[in-house]
Amino acid sequence: MRALQLSAPTTPLALVERTLSPLTPHAVLLRVRACGVCHTDLHLIAGELPLRKSPITPGHQVVATVEQIGESVTAAKVGDRVGVPWLHTTCGHCEFCRRGEENLCDRATFTGWDVDGGYAEYMIADERALVPIPDSFSDIEAAPLLCAGIIGYRSLIKADVQPGEHVGLFGFGGSAHIAIQIARHWGCSVAVFTRSEHHQTLARTLGAGWVGVAAGGAATQRPPTPLDRAVIFAPVGSLVPIALGHLRKGGTLAINAIHMSPIPQFDYNLLYGERTVRSVANATHRDAIEFMQLAAQIPVRTEVTAFPLAEANTALGLLKEGKVNGAAVLVMNAE
């Protein structure tokens, strides 16, 4: 089969021919149909996340068909269409796993980081990683839901968003364009902060009540009322004091980033007034199940630009430059 591999940071992905290992008892062989392209992949390629396996095949927004199952598999059968998200396996025994916080497990493994992911024609996954895909979504529509959607959903939960509140989204890429649809479904008004004119247009199309630029100082643009809750989707530390400056007393700011540039020193008054700042670290299997059901109910619409597998480096470059409107998805049968 063909797969894209990263052997060293800051190098392009190489398209190679390779074979897969035999299945272990709880593993499944998957024929990949589509795989989303994520900012986490960019962090891995840039060396901002250390390589845990070399070479590694990235990709953790995988839509696939089960081709073969291990002898002990009970969670899937041959022919099922399934998703494989970022969180792959956890130990199941530590204090975090016992509390239902397996996203914080110190022995967690991650798709496309610890184990080969979906930038390939086939892949092997543990049955514990599999997520059902609602029939209402096509392969390319479903792919961004498996990371951008799931983590966007968790970010809103961790931001303490309540129905009808005023929510701010900083950055408007693959995750935020799904999160706004959830927030609107909950009856929230949404303010979007983004520099891209294309993203601003998309935000208005998806129901943003206010759109502006998250600049500091005299260039600051403000929505008509303070934010109750906010989520930062861009991995830019300087956005933290800017976002806090828009947040009401008692509000919550969630930071959705696995890697972020340094947060600058800021005046304590931006935090004072019982404002809360918290990070969002991965997502649980329960988050994935809940969100996929909610996405079908809303229903969520994903804006997608499709690329063939061989053009993954092009897709990653456009994503890095902020030139993908919505989400980029690799489609295996597009060539």
List, for residues 189-241, the tens digit of each pLDDT value.
999 999 989 899 999 999 999 999 987 665 678 999 999 999 999 999 999 99
Task: Read off the tokens for 139.
Answer: 């392969």
Dist CA 131 CA 146 (whole Å):
9
Pairing of strands 247-255, 227-232: parallel
pLDDT number for residue 333: 76
- Contacts of the segment 89-98: beta carbons below 8 A, 24+ positions apart: 89/126, 89/128, 89/129, 90/128
Whether the predicted pLDDT of 300 surpasses 60 = yes
Average pLDDT, the chain: 94
Least confident of 46-50, 185-189, 249-253, 324-328: 324-328
Q: How far is CA 84 from CA 33, 64, 313, in A?
A: 12, 8, 21
Dist CA 89 CA 110 (whole Å):
7
Dist CA 171 CA 174 (whole Å):
9
**Domain segments of the chain: what residues?**
2-133+303-331, 149-279
In the chain, how long is the greatest CA-to-CA distance? Answer: 64
| pLDDT tens digits, one per residue of 34-58 | 999 998 999 999 999 999 999 999 9
Respond yes or no on whether the N-terminal peptide bond of residue 25 is cis (omega within 30° of 0): no
The 8-class DSSP code of residue 269 comes to G
Give the pLDDT band (50/70/90) at residue 291: very high
Q: Which CATH class is domain 2-133+303-331?
A: alpha beta
Whether the predicted pLDDT of 315 surpasses 90 = yes
**Pair 124, 20: CB distance under 8 Å:** yes
Amino acid code (one letter) for 310: A
Whether the predicted pLDDT of 248 surpasses 60 = yes
Q: What is the arithmetic mean of pLDDT over 163-179?
A: 94
> 149-279 adopts what CATH topology?
Rossmann fold (3.40.50)
All residues at 6 or more sequence positions from 258 whose CB lies less than 8 Å from its CB, including other chains: 40, 43, 49, 281, 282
